[in-house]
């Protein structure tokens, strides 16, 4: 096992899939992290009290950009991003409640993950340099050299994210089961990736910070 500390090059891969922030009344609201912490108690059974998911195919939420987290919660609530569990959890949330939860998770220290040595180099090559044969550039272009993302552009932080979750989301983008990415950006990338390439880059991202 190896902890990744050096910055790699990346483009627009995932995980909580890149998409520009949706225009909504929530955009003008200011999140209250303290109120969000109280409301997040119910979220802890899946995402952990500290924002570190208890199940590998659930996302870590700690340290995620508030704008991105708010967009995803809004789209779960409104049926734009489909997930039966999250649709139920988000159904009763107000716009203010959403930005409060997002502010809480953004305030938590990000998870520092560990990657497996298996397929690590292949994943690093994809993250940093893309897949030339498929016309895919490196993931760092959108998600940053250390996976910190770009909140102004709506690209999520990926560093330390559960590899099983990343694999699942890239697979959903590839099939079209997930379609809340701006301009079909992630769908365009994922549909040109093999299972092996998805697994490799997901493993690399899980240890990146």
Which pLDDT tens digit goes with each residue over 131-186?
999 999 999 999 999 999 999 999 999 999 999 999 999 999 999 999 999 999 99
Query: Which of 61, 77, 107 delimits the end of a domain?
Result: 107
> Same domain for 47 and 97?
yes
Domain extent at residue 186: 120-206
20, part of any domain: no
- Cα separation, 92 vs 74, whole angstroms: 11
**Average pLDDT for residues 39-48, to the nearest whole number?**
96
183, part of any domain: yes
The structural domain count of the chain equals: 2
> Same domain for 102 and 44?
yes
- Cα separation, 138 vs 154, whole angstroms: 18
CB 47 within 8 A of CB 60: yes
- Cα separation, 130 vs 110, whole angstroms: 25
Tell me the per-residue pLDDT of 186-201, one tens digit each, with 9 for 90 and over. Answer: 999 999 999 999 999 9
Instruction: State how far Cα 156 lies from the chain centre.
Output: 5
> Same domain for 92 and 162?
no
60, part of any domain: yes
Q: How confident is the model at residue 20 (pLDDT cuts 50, 70, 90)?
A: very low
For the chain, percent of residues with pLDDT exceeding 90: 86
Residue 45, number of CB atoms within 10 A of its CB: 10
């Amino acid at each position: 096992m190896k902890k990744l500390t050096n910055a790699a090059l990346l483009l627009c891969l995932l995980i909580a899939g890149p998409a520009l922030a949706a225009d909504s009344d929530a955009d003008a609201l200011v999140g209250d992290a303290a109120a969000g912490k109280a409301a997040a108690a119910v979220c802890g059974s899946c995402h952990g009290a500290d924002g570190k998911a208890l199940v590998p195919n659930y996302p870590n939420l700690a340290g995620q950009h508030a704008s991105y987290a708010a967009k995803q919660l809004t789209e779960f609530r409104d049926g734009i991003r489909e997930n039966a569990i999250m649709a139920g959890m988000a159904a009763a949330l107000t716009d203010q409640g959403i930005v409060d939860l997002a502010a809480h998770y953004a305030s938590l220290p990000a998870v520092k993950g560990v990657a497996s040595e298996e397929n690590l180099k292949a994943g690093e090559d994809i993250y940093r340099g893309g897949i030339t044969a498929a016309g895919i550039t490196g993931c760092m272009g959108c998600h940053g050299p250390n996976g910190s993302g770009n909140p102004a552009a709506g690209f999520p932080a990926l560093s330390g994210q559960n590899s099983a979750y990343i694999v699942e989301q890239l697979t959903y983008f590839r099939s079209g089961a997930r379609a809340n990415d701006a301009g079909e950006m992630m769908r365009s990338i994922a549909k040109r990736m093999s299972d092996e390439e998805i697994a490799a880059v997901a493993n690399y991202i899980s240890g990146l910070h």
